[in-house]
Structure 1
């Protein structure tokens, strides 16, 4: 048979078409309380068979005893280093048997303990978590090891330009007596003083169910969650002591420049910031939107100028980070711009960055910028919260920041409603060109004079 006699007919499968988007809202939790005073937020998320648990402990850094900065961090790390039932190795083995992970860290608002576990092993893992909270061992040897580990971390942090810039900015913004002015995890001098007795005293003073909250998110199908909580976290007891009342936040954002000298550095790390409104302020949604337009993504103004047009950097970001949040207005957020540039471009990059801010104040954002920001912030939210851990983390943040349970859901609605003019006003007020503290980690001999010539504030050089 000749090739000409052969004919082939190809049938193509119909091209799939996108369906209509389904309505989505950030999940609303169910709130309750155990007899021991522990507040519980739960959210049933069908299909999420890895359950996430977040425990908020009201043990803020402000409560650390004078001269013992870092004791909250050591306590948090020591919670999983043995209990009254298991030593450190046994506890780790039991977690592994459950297929669970347990992490903890300390921050200005308090200590956060995070657990993730397959739903089928939830009750066993909750039992281990309850033991860690109820009766941590705080053995001398384990605490000494954690202190040594923390001391080993400090030189690496000081050598990291980004971490060094963050430390310098905190020191500049906040008064010396404020805990916010000092490293979250302590300094070598303060960490060296921490022992098991100090850790135990901090735990006994601040860790109790009456001032704690548990957030549980996942698929609870076939699980008697009430019974599981009652048998585990419900067995944790403690005194109903009054919560710690944090000191008011004050900051000095007088425009100035601090250069942390790193002789021979081929790059300069930039961190420019001040203190502004937190999530309780009505301006927060507009501030989030405007800040995203300024430097939240690769299409933002700062990236467009400094990365695409000038080639100074791989990326510059503007962001707002809540330091401490309170209904009475005593909270605050760090508003900052961060990035790195090659040493020779330090002066020109800062000049162009300030020009971006001045142009923004003079001309405002465009409707197109606002629309892209809304789509990126609101449109991708369902993807951001696909996992139980993401939902639990956000709910725990709301608890920590004294926000209502529906805050995140309402935030997305408010972002979508925020107009271009409102977003412009918020970001211009967030980053006024004459009220920014600039920290540069780099070679002072090569960058000091070009920076002084910009006239963006008095320039001080400190050792690296």
Structure 2
């Protein structure tokens, strides 16, 4: 149910090339076409007992008409609700209960539906997926139509209206493309168009575009191709063939003159400049050169945008540029989200200077080599999971006419030359017209580019009550079922795939004693590894919050032996990625590389860890970058709610009451000396664990880290004792004002227990029915029954410290008080209403979801991290599974009663005070206490 600007995962991921023999790489598949025109691609992969199904309908927002915009995305939503042979709501509810995942997405050129399930549910997913595809239209009712309008409108409010910079895309495309061009309206459409949609519109759209001959279907995973062919014929062979859909040819645009527009953004806290140049459609010969150009301009410390805008002028913490090619046309985008109070005229001037620098100095051959060197790594990363493979095959079949186009794409990138790059720069960028937007915080029009014209944007008015928007699913449609020669009733489950832990080896480096956890996996020639150090934010004094995060940032800015440019270049030429991250409880340096480059990558990681470069200038830049990010977060209602809930739950004395990123106050006082002090005390081998997953064995790993093992000395440090966690909130309901908010963000929580507590698993299992995805009660009630929200979920934070239970949602502003009452009731009545049937559902869902939970190398690394962090055995998932199997209804109710006590919950609401606060004050939680965005009490 996502709307996507573009869904070509591989096209986005592989935007660089490498010196590789792409002819040695392939994804084996078999392709055939049914009599109804449906093109089918099958791929057999027995690595994990799971199956992925992906269907692309060749219809996106580009097939809509003015006045009926947003319809492709809206129809995607409708498709999930009901169908002739499947119970209403089964798609969202039953697939997760089988241990699977499911969703869909719409973009300008198409719509995708996808699922991944354990192999025992293979027949069931074919039943559900084929029924959604071919047998849903008779089940659509007026009531369902009206309910789904509210859901889609909520999605637009959440992702566009209530989001900083949310209207940027709408303003750009309306000025880039001429009136009537298929890209001149947004994928999600206009609210008034959605509201005026009628049942006949749904029928007409289905008839025109949802025929089998306008789609591609991929089934990939643990299948038998011969048997699967027969299943496909049975389930999909009778789906109707629709009218021929005439292909749309390329529709590139040219601008007669540049356009400059501005918008005062109620949610933005930082000024942002975007420039968009019209370019070419996907699969055009110039696309890969444009992709390479975008990286040469911004993706390294040598890049002109970085040098001028970030390093020299310090106008912004980062710059991004990218080529976005779609079916009919393309766009070359430059985006600069500047530091607070920066005049965007200075940003525009700096961009022009950077272009001049590029024209004058060109680019280094190593930069081109580095971009290409990443291609082989990204090629394998892009098909690491079975769903990745399904995406790749189905999209390239439908739009390139070749499921294996990924190989050609890699080869095309490899062939990009210096001349190709300069050709596309001169043809599409230099001296060409563009659309430019200045987005500034409300009331700061002095920051816009001089001469910019005010952009006109329709903004929904907040309605004070929900009486006119109260909707429900209504009664089911009455119709004659479409005849079929096959039995289309629900098939039985197949044989249950039992989860088995991968083989894990554990070793210690001989000198430092660092423990290594490893999984050898040779499916692809990649290795992912990390060195995790216990500590992170937890080892900071509260007034030094943010030090560990800044240290992690600084460690990637060169070493004692390499400048930042040299370090970046060496990593890039290996085609590797290396990152340092700091969170609440750890600092982690992680890397992914080709197996053949493991030793060289391990050497670089060791150098980064042991020999930091204490560069004051880089520190100053990074500190300013973090300050800018914190200021930007003050515009995000979800961030505001989550941050302040933590502050209320942990209390002002505990370090977790403050984000690991620190606050504006702590960052202002931190010095590079604080980072050096943290490093000296806490970057020590006795706090470190090494995790490795991929195409490598233990002896090679030990040998590769010989230098680290012999040269990393233990540090002496004084322990920091954090305050015991006692929930500090002294009130039930808190409100934070975001004037004009179209939605209210609700966070509810209370402290429960640590992940090392013997009851943590049981509490986590018990949460599934309440908020564990689209089948949970929160989602089913607030979205499916009421249409108040786009999503509602709950979870238990996993941490060594005592941590909270959290439930959250973003709801329509005028449904705030009603939503709070529903959440309160669902939590209060959760234990008493928990049933034996839900015990069985929880067990089935969680046990079967293990089948695909550790498919990728990063998943395997996560398994190892959990094992080392919580001192679990190498069979811990099987032990957890046994614990779940043995839980009774009494066990579920007992842990819910003990920890999910509604009277102890704290509620934080972020929304529009003028329209919502008085309604909240009428609730039985007492008067809401107002907080500012920093958590300070106002009244």
Question: TM-score higher than 0.5 here?
Answer: yes
Greater Cα shift, 422-431 or 158-167: 422-431
CA RMSD for the aligned pairs?
2.4
> How far, CA to CA, are the matches of 2:846 and 2:227 in structure 1?
33
Give 2:709's aligned residue: 234
Cα distance in 2 for residues equivalent to 1:31 and 1:46: 18
Distance 2:652 2:685 in 1: 33
- Work out whether residues 255 and 436 of structure 1, in 8 Å CA contact, stay in contact via their aligned partners in 2: no
Residue 532 of structure 2 is matched in structure 1 by 56
Match of 1:397 in 2: 866
C-alpha change, 1:31 and 1:457, in structure 2 (3 Å) is farther
Partner SS for 1:61: helix
Q: Is 1:345 paired with 2:815?
A: yes
Judging changes above 3 Å, is the alpha-carbon distance between structure 1 residues 178 and 346 closer, same or farther for their aligned structure 2 residues? same
2:744 is aligned with 1:268: yes
Partner residue in 1 for 2:552 = 76
User: Pick from 107, 113, 118: which aligns with 2:583?
Assistant: 107
Pick from 793, 797, 803: which aligns with 1:317?
A: 793
User: Could you tell me how far apart the structure 2 residues matched to 1:70 and 1:404 are?
Assistant: 33
Deviations 1:242-279 (A, max 9, x none): 67454232223555111011121111101100111222
Q: 1:425 aligned to 2:894?
A: yes
Shift of 1:221: 5.6
Displacement after TM superposition at 1:141 (Å)? 1.5
Cα separation, 2, equivalents of 1:402 and 1:222:
20
Write the distance in 1 (CA, Å) between the matches of 2:228 and 2:874.
42
Q: Which runs of structure 2 are paired with 1:267-306 in the superposition (5 Å)? A: 267-306=743-782
Aligned residue number for residue 629 of structure 2: 153
1:358 pairs with 2:833: no
Q: 1:97 offset after TM fit, Å?
A: 1.7
Structure 1 gaps, min length 5: 1-11, 326-330
Task: Name the residue aligned to 1:220.
Answer: 696
What are the superposed Cα offsets for residues 192-229 of structure 1, whole Å, 9 maximum, x if unpaired? Answer: 22332221221111101122111111121697222112
Deviation at 1:447, TM superposition (A): 2.0
**Corresponding residue SS for 2:902:** coil
Q: d(CA) in 1 for partners of 2:639 and 2:867? A: 26
The within-5 A match list for 1:360-399 is 360-363=830-833, 365-399=834-868
Contact 1:58–1:244 (CA under 8 A) maintained in structure 2: no
Change (3 A) 1:299 1:350: same
- Is the contact between residue 270 and residue 441 of structure 1 (CA under 8 Å) also seen in structure 2? yes
Q: Secondary structure at the match of 1:265?
A: coil
Moved more, 333-342 or 16-25: 16-25
1:20 CA displacement = 5.0
SS in 2 for 1:281: coil
Q: Is the 1:58–1:207 Cα contact (8 Å) retained in structure 2?
A: no
Distance verdict in 2 for CA 1:68–1:281, change over 3 Å? closer
**Structure 2 contact 794–806 (Cα < 8 Å) conserved:** yes
Q: Could you tell me which of 98, 103, 106 is aligned with 2:574? A: 98
CA distance in 2, matches of 1:439, 1:111: 30
Q: Does 1:116 align with 2:592?
A: yes
Say whether the 8 Å CA contact 2:683–2:715 is kept in structure 1.
no
Give the secondary-structure state (helix, strand or coil) at the position aligned to 1:130.
helix
Of the structure 1 ranges 310-319 and 244-253, higher mean CA displacement relative to structure 2 is found in 244-253
- Partner of residue 6, structure 1: none
Q: Which deviates the most, 305-314 or 105-114? A: 105-114
- Asked if the contact 2:541–2:655 (Cα under 8 Å) also holds between the matched residues in 1, the reply is no
Does the Cα contact within 8 Å between 2:737 and 2:912 map onto a contact in 1?
yes
Matched, 1:415 2:884: yes
Shift of 1:181: 1.0
Preserved CA contact (<8 Å) 2:518 2:698: no
1:31 to 506, 512, 530: 506
Please identify, of 149-158 and 24-33, the stretch whose mean Cα deviation from structure 2 is larger.
Answer: 24-33
1:437 to 898, 906, 918: 906
CA distance in 2, matches of 1:411, 1:116: 29
1:162 to 615, 627, 638: 638
Counterpart CA distance in 1 for 2:871 and 2:717 is: 16
Supply the distance in 1 between the matched residues of 2:529 and 2:561 (Cα, whole angstroms): 21
**Residue 129 of structure 1: which of 597, 605, 622 is its match?**
605
Q: Quick one: distance in 1 between partners of 2:697 and 2:809?
A: 46
Contact preservation (8 Å) 2:516, 2:689? yes
Is contact 2:779-2:792 (8 Å) kept? yes
- Judged with a 3 Å threshold, the aligned counterparts in structure 2 of structure 1 residues 287 and 266 are, in CA distance, closer, same or farther, namely same
**How many residue pairs align between the two structures?**
445
Distance 1:358 1:177, change over 3 A: closer
Say whether residues 1:450 and 2:919 are aligned partners: yes
Q: CA deviation at 1:13?
A: 5.8
Most deviating of 341-350 and 212-221: 212-221
Question: Which of residues 784, 792, 795 is equivalent to 1:308?
Answer: 784
Q: In 2 relative to 1, CA 282–164 (structure 1 residues): closer, same or farther, beyond 3 Å?
A: same
Taking a change above 3 Å as real, the CA distance of residues 297 and 406 of structure 1, as seen in their structure-2 partners, is same
Looking at structure 2, the residues matched to 246 and 54 of structure 1 have their Cα atoms a distance apart, in angstroms, of 27
Higher relative CO (CA 8 A, sep ≥ 6), structure 1 or 2? 1
Relative distance call for 1:54 and 1:359 in structure 2 (3 A) is same
Distance 1:261 1:95, change over 3 A: same
Q: Quick check: which has more Rg, 1 or 2?
A: 2
| TM value normalised by structure 2 | 0.45
Partner residue in 1 for 2:806: 336
In structure 1, how many angstroms separate the alpha carbons of the residues matched to 2:737 and 2:844?
41
TM-score by length of structure 1 reads 0.89
Q: Is the 8 A contact 1:174 1:181 kept in 2?
A: yes
Contact map agreement 1:266 1:342 (CA 8 A) in 2: yes
Over residues 300-348 of structure 1, what are the superposed CA-to-partner deviations in whole Å (9 max), with x where a residue is unaligned? 11111111111111111010112x41xxxxx312201011101110001
State how 1:167-246 maps to structure 2 within 5 Å. 167-220=643-696, 224-231=700-707, 233-241=708-716, 244=719, 246=721
SS at match of 1:216: strand
CA spacing shift, 1:142–1:302, aligned 2, 3 Å? same
- Cα distance in structure 2, aligned partners of 1:222 and 1:53: 13
Which structure 2 residue ranges, 5 or more long, are not aligned?
Answer: 1-224, 232-492, 934-939
